[in-house]
Amino acid sequence: MSLLEDLKFRGLVNQMTDEEGLTEILNKEAVTLYCGFDPTGDSLHIGHLLTILTLRRFQLAGHKPLALVGGATGLIGDPSGKKAERTLNEQNVVEEFSNKIKGQLSRFLDFNENEQGAKLVNNYDWIGSMSVIDFLRDVGKNFGLNYMLAKDSVESRISSGISFTEFSYMILQSYDFYRLYKEEGCKLQIGGSDQWGNITAGLELIRKMTGQEEDERAKAFGFTIPLVTKADGTKFGKTEGGAIWLDPEKTSPYEFYQFLINTDDQDVIKFLKYFTFLSKEEIDALETEVAERPHERAAQIRLAQELTAFVHGESAVEQAENISKALFGGGDLKKLTADEVLQGFKDVPTYKVDTDDVGLIDLLVDAGISPSKRQAREDIKNGAVYINGERTQEMDKIISGEEKIEGKFTIIRRGKKKNYLIRYK
């Protein structure tokens, strides 16, 4: 399949400004394209992956991606898809966020020195030094008020209110496209479907500032991909605990893996198309697995493996599977590494011990696992206490070196589900 045919198969085509023209140019030459990422937080989240992976697909097909970090537009705030005004961050905060996002993007695209090598750019480099007069005279004059008011991102906010700051966001993003068009030869901007108005405004600015209509060979294009939703209509990437982040410090590889492996059968094939580089034949085979043997969850396992490896590396997949096996598949908790313990038991109650050896009964009470020594003895007698997954009924049990995972942790369970992490100083 051609690139566009593959994107259509995967359901990644939402809108294009000129399908015939874009098909022709993609087949004829290596195209430079860009997608913007505003630093509204210190990490990208799993929802950003669809545009990142789409940039990657273009790169693998021989085209050159530009990953734009919005150091300037991040100071303004995009009204697209928002019901209310954003809280503006200070410049030093946005700079810090920008640097972290640059680091993340550099993991997902190939930044080599050849013609298809990706490039990181920051729009603060050209917008930050622009004066108000230059902005209004050179750029703002190309935008009619009625034209801007008709855009969904603005129209949807008229009743609730929109500041001039956010109203001007469209102009700044349009100027990004123009600058990249002029300086990098960028002829295509991609983004989520909520960016359609901003993208087409950029095309209009390029046309006005370059007289593009006089030279069809200089034409630029816009392309959007769908926003990711689940079968129940809710937004993909949100959990009760918050967003699924690409930063392993905010969402551990194990949590990331578990989020994906719990994908509903109704969504898993769509997400395999969206988020993996598996072929049509491989995806079709997994679709058959879902239909005939849903209990084996082969498609969910493959989705979790592929995407965790892409974001966190192959070793993270092995870690996540080790933790999952230990927790849910009868695996040996003592074989976990210290890092795997921290990931798998991140949210359980933790108690720190500062002595080398401690009696089990004292530990159960001091850690708040059992409310009293009498109850602790009863729990042990009844077989309700497990050390690193193994039941113990020894009343005089001492927690010593052999019960310490890498000398740092002991996992105690009371009953079927209540886990506690004992951490040694």
Residues 310 and 357 in one domain: no
Query: Per the structure, how many domains does the chain have?
Result: 3
What tokens appear for 249 in the block? 């410090």
Do 113 and 258 belong together in one domain? no
Same domain, 216 and 243: no
DSSP 8-state assignment for residue 314 = H
Residue 270 in marked binding region: no
* Alpha-carbon gap, residue 2 to 13, rounded angstroms: 13
Q: Flag whether 230 is in a domain.
A: no
Whichever domain contains 21, its CATH number is 3.40.50.620
Could you tell me where the DSSP H helices lie in 298-370? 298-312, 314-328, 338-344, 360-366
Catalytic residues: 40, 45, 48, 82, 86, 173, 194, 235, 238-239
- The answer to whether residue 342 sits within a structural domain is no
Q: Is 35 within a domain?
A: yes
Strands (E), 5-159: 15-16, 32-37, 64-69, 119-122
* Distance set, CA 342 to CA 111, 287, 289, 317, 346 (Å): 33, 34, 33, 15, 5
Instruction: For residues 109 and 101, give the distance between their C-alpha atoms in angstroms, rounded to a whole number.
Output: 13
Look-up of token digits 């927690």: 399
Task: Answer yes or no: do 83 and 172 share one domain.
Answer: yes
Q: Is 173 annotated as a binding residue?
A: yes
The residue range of the domain holding 311 is 238-331
Q: Which of 202, 225, 248 is the last residue of a domain?
A: 225
Token pair belonging to 281: 């034949």
One domain for residues 181 and 75 = yes
Q: Is residue 232 part of a domain?
A: no
Do residue 208 and residue 354 come from a single domain?
Answer: no
Residue 381 domain flag: yes
Cα–Cα dist 132/313, whole Å:
45
Cα-flanking dihedrals φ and ψ of residue 32, to 5°? -90, 130
Distance CA 219, CA 204 (A): 11
Angstrom distance (rounded) from CA 174 to CA 196:
11
247 in a structural domain: yes
Question: What pTM value is reported for the model?
Answer: 0.86
Same domain, 56 and 172: yes
The one-letter code for the residue type at 406 is E
Residues 69 and 204 in one domain: yes
Rounded CA gap, 287 and 269, in Å?
Answer: 6
**Structural domain ending residue among the three candidates 331, 363, 388:** 331
386 known ligand binder: no
Asked whether residue 66 falls in the same domain as residue 163, the answer is yes
Does any domain span residue 341? no
- Would you mind telling me the total number of residues written for the chain in this entry? 425
Cβ atoms of residues 274 and 47 within 8 Å:
no
Residues 144, 218: one domain? Answer: yes
Instruction: For residue 141, count other CB atoms closer than 10 A to its CB.
Output: 10
Instruction: Check whether residue 202 and residue 247 sit in a common domain.
Output: no
Is residue 116 marked as binding? no
Same domain (yes/no): 278, 256:
yes
CA distances from 331 to 21, 174, 341, 389, 425 (A): 56, 54, 13, 9, 26
Question: Count of alpha carbons within 13 Å of 385, Cβ hemisphere only?
Answer: 23
CATH label of the domain that carries residue 292: 1.10.240.10
Tens digit of each residue's pLDDT, the chain (425 residues): 899 999 999 999 999 999 999 999 999 999 999 999 999 889 999 989 999 999 999 999 999 999 999 999 998 888 776 777 777 788 899 999 999 999 999 999 998 878 789 999 999 999 999 999 999 999 999 998 888 888 887 887 787 788 888 889 899 999 999 999 999 999 999 999 999 999 999 999 999 998 765 555 568 999 999 999 988 888 888 776 788 999 999 999 999 999 999 999 999 999 999 999 999 999 999 999 999 999 999 999 999 999 999 999 999 999 999 999 888 867 788 889 999 999 999 888 999 998 888 899 999 999 999 999 999 999 999 999 999 989 999 999 999 888 899 989 999 999 988 899 999 97
SS3 state of residue 234: coil
Task: Tell me whether residue 376 is in a domain.
Answer: yes
